[in-house]
Structure 1
């Protein structure tokens, strides 16, 4: 089956663009490109979902935005300024936060210490940001002295997202927030992601649970072989016969 035609990227001049990925080529090893001319736009307040088959480059795209993968060509801008080549500390200052799929908390530290680690560049706003994150994750505010290593997988995910939010980012990058969680905890993770977005945070989320991702996102991108094969609203992609046939299967038809 031939690869689908690349999606037409939304205009970066339309609306308040937070993240603009243009013709991005990136990879881990010399001469081997994982991302092949990918495009993505995230506007202020949007929840963007990235889905696709295993090995499509979804997580690599997020890591490219966060400076963890070598960008060979193309550009990535945040709030109109290029961030290509910047290290993690500079990216955090520019308003980019990243929550990896695993090993995303300091297990030997308390919840409170984890949150403070998220603010090492600006500790003076701790009280203000703690009020914000506990407004979304109320249970964390009652357990600040508990060691993060004693938490369940879903609770650790809450701590990781909260720590990333402490610096008041322009965009939150989430890599597989439901990975390894039970079905009930997966639903809870998606609810929390929606709550963060409703609080005004722009989110770009990579997710293997494609159907659930498309149900909650404003717009979605289907990545295939490192390219954005399809782009549209979550509802449009859920009901697109080509997307269902190629990428979603029965996931796209049950209750969509």
Structure 2
């Protein structure tokens, strides 16, 4: 079995490169109150990782812990083998970490091109090269670069936000609820674009409320409950696991 096939089937291979690793992470927003209570996660090069779970399970907090937006009280978080705990956003971006929040993820008064330039404030010289990459995935944006982001639909704004995050050629892309607030058609489009980004070689960690759709497209999934990983495995296996169906999929996501 090739490394790629091993990844697609959720089987770790000795030659896999670990991009992101969380080990026994405890983290929270308020003193003495943890949202994550021993969370673990591994994302290898080229993988698409899905994170699902009930409301309040700590899904978005996990992403924010990686991106330095939540205080990590104990445990380890590494990117490409180096600890990133305590680093600010600009340092994390330079380490190859990109984050797309669920809301307020574009600059509405700026054009699409200006939004993309904001993603390259640390290295503006590679704008033309990275623009070619992102418009290869989001072709619709290529002919609308002068349009202001504030005039775009929710799905179009999501495309701009993901494109801006990709401008610095990240090692890992963190996506918080990419389908939230979108129409069913736009939701399907969002999942297709996430898959396109991943197929282009970007390791992706996605938090999603549409659990079934998330597990359908991800290589491996993590089910969070009360701040820790309750189940982990290949997305398709979790999708058909009776325990996961009974405890989580019965109230999460929607059938196709």
Whole-angstrom CA distance in 2 between matches of 1:148 and 1:93: 25
Question: Does residue 213 in structure 1 map to residue 206 in structure 2?
Answer: no
Instruction: Name 1:45's counterpart in structure 2.
Output: 46
1:100-111 matches, cutoff 5 A: 100-111=101-112
In the alignment, which residue of structure 1 is the partner of 2:117? Answer: 116
Judge conservation of contact 1:244–1:253 (CA < 8 Å) in 2: no
- Per-residue CA shift, 1:8-51, capped at 9, x if unaligned? xx979762000000000000000000000000000000000000
Task: List per-residue Cα deviations over 1:64-88 (Å, max 9, x = no partner).
Answer: 0000000000010000000000000
Contact 1:46 1:202 survives alignment (8 Å): yes
Distance 1:155 1:174 in 2: 15
Partners of 2:118 and 2:255 in 1: CA distance: 42
Aligned to 1:194: 195
Question: Structure 1's 203 and 154: CA in aligned 2 closer, same or farther, altered over 3 A?
Answer: same
Equivalent residues, number: 246
**Per-residue CA distance 1:89-128 (angstroms, 9 max, x = gap):** 0000000000000000000000000000000000000000
Distance in structure 2 (CA, Å) of the matches to 1:21 and 1:13: 18
For the residue of structure 1 that corresponds to 2:16, the secondary structure is: coil
| Cα offset, 1:249, TM superposition | 1.3
Local SS of the residue matching 2:179: coil
Structure 2 counterpart of 1:3: none
1:127, 1:22 → 2: CA distance? 38
Report what 1:65 is aligned to: 66
SS in 1 for 2:72: strand
State whether residues 54 and 252 of structure 2, in contact with CA within 8 Å, keep that contact through their aligned partners in structure 1: no
Gaps of 5+ in 2: 1-10
Query: More deviation in 245-254 or 76-85?
Result: 245-254
> 1:238 is matched with which residue?
239
CA distance in 2, matches of 1:129, 1:70: 32
| C-alpha contact 1:97 1:164 (8 A) present in aligned 2 | yes
Task: Rate the CA distance shift 1:12–1:93 in 2: closer, same or farther, 3 A.
Answer: farther
Q: Counterparts in 2 of 1:171-182, with a 5 A limit?
A: 171-182=172-183
Does the 8 A contact of 2:221 with 2:238 survive in 1? yes
| Structure 1: unaligned runs, 5 residues or longer | 1-9
Contact 1:238/1:252 (CA < 8 Å) preserved in 2? no
SS at match of 1:18: strand
